[in-house]
Chain A
């Protein structure tokens, strides 16, 4: 049986594993971990086979669709973009599950953990495979729910529960924007079809959307007096969803707090898979972005800004996992920047961004797993208490070094020698240079170079403070068991060699995602709709530009070595609380104070409380004013009853006379 007919099993097997582990996991040894591992291993084998088949026949993608209700469908689509993501997700998930066998061995709730990670993998695979945007949204929400469950895994800790809530609420803001984009898209397509959708054509399936892009681009909306094309509106709303899920500024605040969960959760979700869902969304709807004026520019600028913003905070953190969290945000910024330079290079942007995504998954998951190994052995997160761990845990130290070299992007330009990170990050930075040349805006390039310097700085700072030198405190530790070190070694090999081996094939493979038997889009034609100038990939940048990323990476390494390795400069003065810049960075630009304390508590919570009190008092006053009015009228009217008979007689006679006059006058008038 041809392997493509089994593609629907890829998300289904982990979902089945979730159900089985949830109900029967407690009775099996080690929390029933064997079920999800077997399921994900099978999914991995299937995705690998499908990818190899697609490599052989690039024009034939796998699609299957069934009618769900009305004009919507459920279906799967495996094209080059989806295939590489599938393989990466299943592979990393498999390695992390094997690692978790050792890491979570002391935990009591193991079955719940494995059930939730299996469910998460199933939803992520469903997201990647979906062939229409509604199904993507459903899986997107499921992934968010799993993230909430996993971050708050140790829910007895109040900080973990708060962090899970924060993550869910922040990504919710992005999800609302995403949903708004889908609604606008649906209404536009409905208008285009004039309500009569032909049989077999499904609204919101990607081929239908892409075919009608020029018509959607022609519809304009009037917002605050500006004429905005609908396609720009929709793509910016989709990007809003990606901002929430992928932790771009300003919705990045949940990622550092999400480190409250187990380290394997951080490795799985916040390094390799969930946060890349945002990048995947933008890549999947890339033709729409190409046709939308100024959307790609916004993506590029925001990505570059996030990269430098998070890197500045990463250099001052003292918690192992926090540094890695900010590193993730920074690298996601790079990926968004990679997509944003599609304004200059067209569909190739998808290729370079996905390449960085896959490489980043390998070395960031490796970094998190090494950190987890250290934490598991030593028991503390704080780097200031560590030092000289390399003597106690040599394998972990070696793999961590490999991952750091990959993250910093060490390699020799112009050749095939280098770590994976070197190839992917360099591609993005070079194309940012091209972007600057074509559009005249050098901000993305400058910010990405500065972020590269800071990246190298913080990762080598982490390395020197943790692994080298003398132990600062007495922590006692041991090397981790084989179930933990084997995945580390596999990931380290990939982090070092995957980039160099596959860079050219990967780029061409993924860049041709939109030319096959399902959709056939001429990206260059769409670029004219978006008003972008596409340049030919010259490849003739000056030598200085080619070598610049390496130069800044080595510079960062030297600075970290001098300061933290050899301790030439006394850092105590710089890191004291009196240094205003340090305080600014360490307090994460006071975002927590601004968002939570000021905005949520003071403005919204106390504002509503005050309004409620005022309304309450207002009603009270109205009611009592009314009662007082009646009382005073009664008080003044009762003066009439004097008790003296003569007064009564007077009033009677006066009344009678007046009545007669009144009636006479009225009769005269009428």
Chain B
């Protein structure tokens, strides 16, 4: 059997890749894509635990999480479009009205 640690390690790696992308990218769309990555990594974790404990609740939770991720991405893109309309850019480094 593959030990569960492998699945968890894989999920952690995917999560940190998404994290890295979130922290360093300028463009808003790329940031949203990295958020999706992190969500998927968490889903992977959920399913792994559900499979190794024989309980199906984890998989139901993962399904719901995927649906919610879709909603959140839609709203995120809508917000990004509003920002683009106002500032004519999606370089999130320049959106710093809350500075100091």
Contacts and interface: CB of A to CB of B under 8 A. Distances in A.
Nearest to A651: B23
Interface stretch (B45-53, B57-65, B92-100): B92-100
A638 B97 CA distance: 14
Interface string A632-659: 0000001101111110011001000000
A389 to B, nearest CB: 96
B8 to A, nearest CB: 16
Contacts of B92: 644-646
B22 interface: yes
Complex A-B, nearest 10 residue pairs according to Cβ-Cβ distance, in ascending order: A643-B96, A643-B99, A643-B98, A650-B23, A638-B100, A641-B100, A646-B23, A644-B96, A644-B93, A649-B22
A390 B22 CA distance: 122
Contacts of B96: 642-644
A646 B96 CA distance: 11
Contacts of A638: 100
Interface in A613-670: 638-639, 641-646, 649-650, 653
Nearest to B94: A644
Interface string B25-51: 100000100000000000000000000
Nearest to A654: B23
Nearest to A635: B100
A641 to B, nearest CB: 5
A641 B98 contact: yes
A645 B96 CA distance: 8
Contacts of A644: 92-93, 95-96
A650 B24 CA distance: 9
A150 B99 CA distance: 82
Nearest to A650: B23
Contacts of B24: 646
Contact of A653 (B19, B95, B98): B19
A173 B26 CA distance: 87
Contact of B23 (A639, A641, A642, A649): A649
B99 A641 contact: yes
A638 B99 CA distance: 9
Given A644-B96, A650-B23, 7 more contacts: A639-B100, A642-B96, A643-B96, A643-B99, A645-B92, A646-B92, A649-B19
Interface string B60-100: 00000000000000000000000000000000110111111
A653 B16 CA distance: 10
B22 A642 contact: no
Contacts of A639: 100
A639 B24 CA distance: 19
Interface residues of B, number: 14
A646 B98 contact: no
Q: Interface residues of A: mostly helix, strand, loop or mixed?
A: helix
B91 to A, nearest CB: 10
A588 B72 CA distance: 103
A645 B30 CA distance: 14
A453 to B, nearest CB: 93
B23 A653 contact: yes
Nearest to B23: A650
A338 to B, nearest CB: 91
A313 B93 CA distance: 95
23 contacts: A638-B100, A639-B100, A641-B98, A641-B99, A642-B96, A642-B99, A643-B96, A643-B100, A644-B92, A644-B93, A644-B95, A644-B96, A645-B92, A645-B95, A646-B24, A646-B31, A646-B92, A646-B93, A649-B19, A649-B23, A650-B23, A653-B19, A653-B23
A649 B22 CA distance: 8
Contacts of A650: 23
A51 B25 CA distance: 121
B84 to A, nearest CB: 16
Contacts of A642: 96, 99
A649 B38 CA distance: 13
B22 A643 contact: no
A642 B31 CA distance: 18
Interface in A493-514: none
A278 B99 CA distance: 86
Contacts of A645: 31, 92, 95
Contacts of B100: 638-639, 641, 643
B15 to A, nearest CB: 10
Nearest to A645: B92
A643 B93 CA distance: 8
| Residue among B19, B25, B31, B99 facing the most chain A CB atoms (10 A cut-off) | B99
Contacts of B99: 641-643
B95 A643 contact: yes
Contacts of A641: 98-100
A641 B99 CA distance: 5
A64 to B, nearest CB: 93
A183 B22 CA distance: 89
Contacts of B93: 644, 646
A653 B21 CA distance: 13
Contacts of B22: 646, 649
B23 A643 contact: no
A644 B98 CA distance: 8
Residue from B23, B24, B31, B97 with most neighbouring chain A CB atoms (10 Å): B23
Interface in A328-356: none
Contacts of B25: 646
Nearest to A653: B19
B28 to A, nearest CB: 10
Interface in B1-30: 19, 22-25
B100 to A, nearest CB: 5
A643 B19 CA distance: 19
Interface in A457-510: none
Interface string A164-180: 00000000000000000
A635 to B, nearest CB: 10
A148 B97 CA distance: 81
A210 to B, nearest CB: 89
A174 B98 CA distance: 78
